[in-house]
């Protein structure tokens, strides 16, 4: 089984409004995801054509899904799984525009609910929480959500249509805090990058992304009463021509084996 990995960038699908542009963009994604169906899967016998599925996944799942795919490969050598990671709102747009994909996993149920006519039987397979990230050593002395309203700080959030951006605003509202972000990013990885590069003093991300960043950032806990739990659903895309393999991967994400891998990255079972 071979595993491909791509990241869909914000704006790619917005520029693909015209039919010809959509076709060109989808062709690029297919190429970027890895080999096509004719590419032999690793470990497959000579002459065997593997079934290749493309999974659209929330950016915050990048590390966990890359490792989970290796575990999945051990018992599914007749399949090739390719990933395209981006903000959930971008993934939903890709599905609506006819992206050549088979499975979608978003960072919220609201985005998935908006695809009710495009997907079948969504199931929540993991949950996540929020945290504040700051520069290593916390040079600005940020200790709470309230500090993010300070005028001397540069704070970045994801946009309000991005799940982590909406969750962040819910968290701030619970605490009665108003924050005017310096920028509104298209996915959680962009927030981490801003803080890591010193372009922002703080941002609100998932705890899993703070952990994945390692020593490049420090984390400031958000109390339970102000935190927001993110639910991650997975579903098979109705237009997929590979319903069997797609359903197999989606169901596998609900197994103890998959949840054990997800737990290593800080995700919790639903």
Predicted confidence at residue 42, as pLDDT, reads 38
- Please say whether the beta carbons of 50 and 37 come within 8 A: yes
Predicted confidence at residue 23, as pLDDT, reads 40
Predicted confidence at residue 78, as pLDDT, reads 84
Q: Is residue 270 part of a domain?
A: no
Share of the chain above pLDDT 70, in %: 81
Predicted confidence at residue 74, as pLDDT, reads 85
Q: Are 194 and 242 members of one domain?
A: no
Q: Are 159 and 82 members of one domain?
A: no
Predicted confidence at residue 90, as pLDDT, reads 96
Its pTM stands at 0.80
Per-residue pLDDT of the chain (270 residues; tens, 9 = 90+): 444 444 433 333 333 333 333 343 444 344 344 333 333 333 344 445 668 899 999 999 999 999 998 899 888 888 888 999 999 999 999 999 998 999 999 999 999 999 999 999 999 999 999 999 999 999 999 999 999 999 999 999 999 999 999 999 999 999 999 999 999 999 999 999 999 999 999 999 999 999 999 999 999 999 999 999 999 999 999 999 999 999 999 999 999 999 999 999 999 999
| Alpha-carbon distances of 113 from 37, 119, 124, 228, 232, rounded to whole Å | 30, 9, 12, 19, 12
Q: Is residue 226 part of a domain?
A: no
Predicted confidence at residue 81, as pLDDT, reads 87
Q: Are 55 and 93 members of one domain?
A: yes
Predicted confidence at residue 73, as pLDDT, reads 85
Q: Is 215 in a helix, a strand, or coil? A: helix
Torsion-angle region of 19 (φ positive above 0: left; ψ -120 to 50: alpha; else: beta) = alpha
Q: Are 115 and 46 members of one domain?
A: yes
Q: Is residue 110 part of a domain?
A: yes
Q: Are 38 and 76 members of one domain?
A: yes
Looking at 76-187, list the stretches that DSSP marks H as alpha helix, in order from N- to C-terminal side: 88-96, 109-113, 163-174
Domain containing residue 247: 3-127+232-264
Q: Is residue 269 part of a domain?
A: no
Total count of domains within the chain:
2
Q: Is residue 227 part of a domain?
A: no
CATH number at residue 61: 3.40.190.10
Q: Are 118 and 247 members of one domain?
A: yes
Q: Are 123 and 136 members of one domain?
A: no
Q: Are 36 and 115 members of one domain?
A: yes
Q: Are 19 and 151 members of one domain?
A: no
Rounded distance, CA 126 to CA 193, Å?
A: 24
Q: Are 98 and 113 members of one domain?
A: yes
Predicted confidence at residue 49, as pLDDT, reads 63
Q: Are 113 and 191 members of one domain?
A: no
Helices (H) and strands (E) in the chain, counts: 9, 11
Q: Are 78 and 210 members of one domain?
A: no
């Amino acid at each position: 089984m071979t595993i491909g990995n791509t990241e869909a960038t914000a704006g790619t699908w917005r520029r693909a409004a015209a039919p010809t542009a959509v076709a060109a963009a989808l062709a690029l994604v297919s190429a970027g995801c890895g080999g096509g169906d004719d590419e032999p899967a690793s470990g497959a016998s000579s002459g065997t054509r593997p079934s290749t599925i493309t999974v659209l996944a929330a950016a915050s799942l990048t590390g966990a899904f890359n490792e989970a795919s290796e575990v999945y490969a051990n018992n599914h050598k007749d399949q090739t799984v390719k990933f395209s990671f981006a903000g959930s709102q971008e993934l939903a747009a890709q599905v609506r525009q006819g992206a050549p994909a088979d499975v979608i996993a978003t960072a919220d149920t609201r985005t998935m609910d908006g695809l009710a006519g495009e997907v079948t039987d969504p199931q929540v397979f993991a949950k996540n929480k929020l945290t504040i990230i700051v520069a290593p050593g916390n040079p600005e002395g940020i200790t709470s959500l309230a500090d993010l309203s300070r005028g001397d700080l540069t704070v970045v959030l994801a946009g309000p249509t991005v799940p982590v951006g909406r969750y962040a605003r819910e968290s701030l509202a619970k605490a009665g805090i108003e924050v005017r972000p310096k920028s509104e990013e298209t996915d959680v990885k962009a927030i981490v990058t801003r803080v890591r590069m010193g372009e922002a003093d703080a941002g609100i991300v998932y705890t899993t992304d703070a952990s994945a960043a390692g020593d490049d950032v420090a984390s400031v806990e958000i109390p339970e009463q102000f935190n927001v739990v993110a639910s991650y659903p997975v579903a098979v895309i109705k237009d997929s021509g590979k319903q069997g393999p797609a359903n197999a991967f989606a169901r596998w994400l609900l197994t103890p084996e998959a949840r054990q891998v997800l737990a290593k990255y800080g995700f919790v079972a639903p």
